């Protein structure tokens, strides 16, 4: 018999897997931010599906309270991997969204991983020491041991920090869409965060408070996330049909947000500039591109055309803003190196090439893309 209440976490698990698959189906490799988004949704799906199984296998029992030989132990470990992974990847996704890339690498990454590792270890070994949780039966209260409180503090610290970073990243976009997104995400994450924290405190106080509400509340949060992915560009995805056309362009194309951070690039841009990473300020790589993009954003909304030497190659560049919106800009770059070499050779032979003809030929490949 399937309990009705368990259908909510099951639905949340389906949404999580769907979001992970949707994000993974891209015509180019995933950025770090998108990778964390995929792992976040896989972890959430594990957490919610484990909750669904546990609610139907042993209603009222908490994960980590089963002996090693009980099938509920394996169920508990699946659920625990999901809990730890969800908190970790929520934080990492928020840090990338806020542009704090150093927080997702090296030592900082290992420090952020410690709560997830701790949660897994103490849950996996709990049948031996019972210092994390203990519960005599489904109807009995849960008794929190001394190892439960470090888990509670560290896990929620990571989750709340991730939420703050996600809100900061959306708000810092400086657009009305970014501000709306920050408010919506902040409001949506309050329910599972506050509800889960209150439930954990009451449970560890040996009070009988019913099943954990967080997986069910995640279903609501994920509906908000789905909307923001589709309408608000939360994971910086282009719809797949447009992404394919975008990647197929001959010209190099770089999409920037209002802070001149790289949102995405097409394959031509990745081939030309493999050192550029999504999420990083364009000025860190090429100050020339940053200067022209800033000029377009601040002074010339109709666009800026320029010619620049970038890494030894000569490019004809165009910066364009999306029509009627203030949410970033698009840089298009046409490689003129071979054409300029031909011009030089013609001049050496005493033949003066027509500049306008060269520019027309270069622009013939350009494709109008709305950011």
Half-sphere exposure of 208 (CA within 13 A, CB side): 10
Q: What is the pTM of this model?
A: 0.69
Q: Which of 206, 232, 258 is the last residue of a domain?
A: 232
Residue 292 lies in a domain: yes
For the segment 90-109, the average pLDDT, to the nearest whole number, is 88
Is residue 219 pLDDT above 90, yes or no? no
Choosing from 178, 211, 232, the residue where a domain stops is 232
Query: Do 209 and 351 lie in a common domain?
Result: no
Instruction: Look at residue 362 in the predicted model and tell me its pLDDT.
Output: 47
* 40 pLDDT above the threshold of 80: yes
pLDDT at residue number 118:
94
More confident residue, 263 or 216: 263
Determine the pLDDT at residue 312. Answer: 75
Residue at 369 is within a domain: no
The CATH number covering residue 290 comes to: 3.30.450.20
How many domains is the chain built from? Answer: 2
Whether residues 189 and 271 share a domain: the answer is: no
Structure tokens at 171: 């708000």
pLDDT for the residue numbered 239: 45
Pick from 17-26, 86-95, 253-262, 360-369 the range whose average pLDDT is largest: 86-95
**H or E segment at 335?**
strand 329-335
Q: What is the pLDDT of residues 45-85, one digit of tens each?
A: 898 888 888 888 877 777 888 889 888 899 889 999 998 99
pLDDT score, position 370: 40
The DSSP line for 68-119 is: TTSHHHHHHHHHHHHHHHHHHHHHHHHHHHTT-GGGGSHHHHHHHHHHHHHH
Domain of residue 134 covers 4-232
Residue 109's pLDDT band (cuts 50, 70, 90)? very high
Co-location of 112 and 176 in the same domain: yes
Residue 110's pLDDT is: 93
Residue 215's pLDDT band (cuts 50, 70, 90): low
Say what the pLDDT of residue 8 is.
Answer: 75
- Position 43 scores a pLDDT of 92
Q: Which residues contact 96 (CB under 8 A, 6 or more apart)?
A: 31, 32, 33, 36, 104, 279
**Predicted pLDDT at 125:** 93
Q: Show which of 203, 232, 261 is a domain's final residue.
A: 232
C-alpha separations of 364 from 19, 64, 155, 304 in Å: 38, 64, 54, 18
Domain annotation covers residue 60: yes
């Amino acid at each position: 018999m399937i309990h009705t209440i368990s259908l909510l976490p099951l639905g949340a698990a389906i949404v999580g897997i769907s979001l992970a698959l949707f994000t993974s189906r891209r015509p180019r490799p995933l950025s770090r931010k998108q990778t964390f988004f995929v792992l976040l949704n896989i972890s959430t799906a594990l957490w919610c599906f484990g909750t669904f199984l546990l609610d139907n296998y042993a209603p009222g029992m908490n994960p980590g309270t089963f002996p090693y030989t009980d099938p509920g132990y394996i169920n508990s470990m699946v659920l625990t991997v999901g809990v730890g992974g969800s908190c970790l990847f929520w934080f990492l996704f928020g840090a990338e969204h806020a542009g704090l890339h150093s927080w997702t690498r090296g030592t900082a990454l290992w420090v952020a991983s410690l709560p997830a590792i701790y949660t897994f270890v103490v849950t996996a070994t709990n049948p031996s020491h019972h210092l994390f949780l203990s519960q005599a039966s489904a109807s009995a209260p849960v008794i929190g041991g001394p190892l439960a409180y470090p888990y509670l503090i560290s896990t929620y610290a990571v989750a709340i920090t991730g939420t703050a970073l996600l809100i900061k990243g959306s708000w810092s976009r400086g657009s009305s869409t970014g501000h709306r997104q920050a408010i919506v995400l902040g409001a949506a994450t309050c329910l599972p965060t506050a509800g889960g924290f209150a439930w954990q405190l009451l449970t560890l106080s040996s009070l009988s408070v019913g099943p954990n509400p967080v997986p069910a509340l995640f279903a609501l949060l994920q509906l908000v996330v789905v909307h923001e992915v589709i309408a608000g560009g939360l994971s910086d995805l282009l719809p797949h049909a447009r992404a394919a056309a975008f990647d197929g362009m001959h010209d190099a194309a770089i999409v920037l947000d209002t802070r001149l951070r790289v949102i995405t690039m097409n394959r031509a841009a990745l081939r030309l500039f493999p050192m550029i990473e999504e999420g990083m300020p364009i000025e860190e790589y090429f100050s020339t591109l940053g200067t022209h993009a800033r000029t377009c954003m601040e002074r010339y909304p109709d666009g800026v055309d320029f010619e620049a030497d970038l890494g030894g190659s000569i490019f004809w560049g165009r910066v364009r803003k999306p029509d009627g919106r203030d949410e970033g800009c698009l840089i298009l770059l046409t490689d003129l190196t071979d054409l300029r070499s031909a011009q030089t050779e013609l001049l050496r032979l005493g033949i003066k090439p027509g500049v306008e003809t060269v520019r027309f030929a270069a622009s013939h490949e350009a494709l109008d893309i709305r950011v």
